[in-house]
Amino acid sequence: MADEPPICSHCTRRAVIRDRTTGEHLCRDHLITSVEDRVFRSLEDEEHLPDVLGVAFSGGKDSSALIAVLAALAGRIPVRMIALTIDEGICGYREETIRAAETIAAKYGVEHRIISFRELFGKSLDEIILGEPGRACTICGILRRRALEILARKEGVRVIATGHNLDDMAQTAVMNAISGDVKKVFAGREISDHYAKRIKPFARVSEREVTIYAMLAGVYHALPECPYAGFSLRGEVRHLLNAYEREHPGTMMNAAKCEETLRTALGPVYPAGEQIVCESCGWPASSAFCQVCMITGKGNPRN
């Protein structure tokens, strides 16, 4: 006889997910409530929520689920959302995800702004990394961050919510530890007029929960994977952490919490040294030219 499907730990309905850490089963409705409550609490914990909240919106499942949760919480958290999308210019991948983003923004009636690497830096990511796919994620991360800040500033956004989930947080913690660079623990927390504050409402929600939430909300689309994803260290770390989580439930939560504890112990930001600004663009830099200008060639005195 086939096994009976598991039943929700809180009601008599069929479960759609089992929390490996607690062993609890959740049905559709209890999962939705659980995810929305965790996001609500994380937003409540923010000292000051602005009237306008930017959402970094790639069109992928995490940021799409975030738009859906924030729309569901609109009555409890009355902020105006602006979805911010960066078109890096990745052929065979970005066109489709941007179409998905436009569809979802329209579904929820959310204002949507898009800006591209080409508009800002004169070239697409494909053109910048030509022939060196191993550099793609590093360069993409640096340029996308700048692009998002520029777009946010243009829209008057000073706080940006990102779709990073618990798995992402754990991967970042492990990658930071591997790099041996303590400064990375503070990445994205710089205090400067140039940077909007980042918040991560899904920081305590696992990738599986976000994925199922996105499916239940009807915002999950099977989209192509970025062709450069296979070259990233994150992919390797993800694979390892998933295996650890299966054998040792709670690994991801512990890794994410460990980095948070470290950050709390060290203070809100990395002790600032001398403040330098880029000679070319005027953004904060760690040497004469910022990383963006070095990548785009503006940091080369011959240009």
- Give bridge partners of residue 86 from the DSSP assignment: 115
CB of 224 to ligand SF4, least distance (A): 11
CB of 45 to ligand SF4, least distance (A): 28
Region of 71-79, 136-144, 175-183, 237-245 interacting with ligand SF4 (CB under 6 A): 136-144
Q: Is 226 in the site for ligand SF4 (CB under 6 A)?
A: yes
Candidate residues 74, 106, 229, 269; the one interacting with ligand SF4 per rule CB under 6 A: 229
* Count of chain residues binding ligand SF4 (CB under 6 A): 9
* Spatial separation of the C-alpha atoms in residues 264 and 129, rounded to whole Å: 37
Q: Is 292 in the site for ligand SF4 (CB under 6 A)?
A: no
Q: Where are the beta strands (DSSP E) in 191-236?
A: 197-199
Count each helix (H run) and each strand (E run) in the chain, helices first.
Answer: 11, 9
Task: Give 285: exposed, middle or buried? Use CB within 10 Å, 0-12, 13-18, 19+.
Answer: buried
Nearest to 64 by CA among 110, 127, 133: 110
Tokens of 278: 């880029």
Region of 175-183, 184-192, 228-236, 268-276 interacting with ligand SF4 (CB under 6 A): 228-236
CB of 291 to ligand SF4, least distance (A): 15
Q: Element (H or E) spanning 37, and its range?
A: helix 28-44
Q: Is 237 in the site for ligand SF4 (CB under 6 A)?
A: no
Q: Is 232 in the site for ligand SF4 (CB under 6 A)?
A: yes
Region of 39-47, 59-67, 74-82, 222-230 interacting with ligand SF4 (CB under 6 A): 222-230
Q: Is 228 in the site for ligand SF4 (CB under 6 A)?
A: yes
Q: Where are the beta strands (DSSP E) in the chain?
A: 15-18, 25-27, 52-56, 80-87, 111-116, 159-161, 197-199, 276-277, 284-285
- If the CB atoms of residues 165 and 232 are measured against ligand SF4, the closer one turns out to be 232
Residue numbers at the binding site for ligand SF4 (CB under 6 A): 88, 136-137, 140-141, 226, 228-229, 232
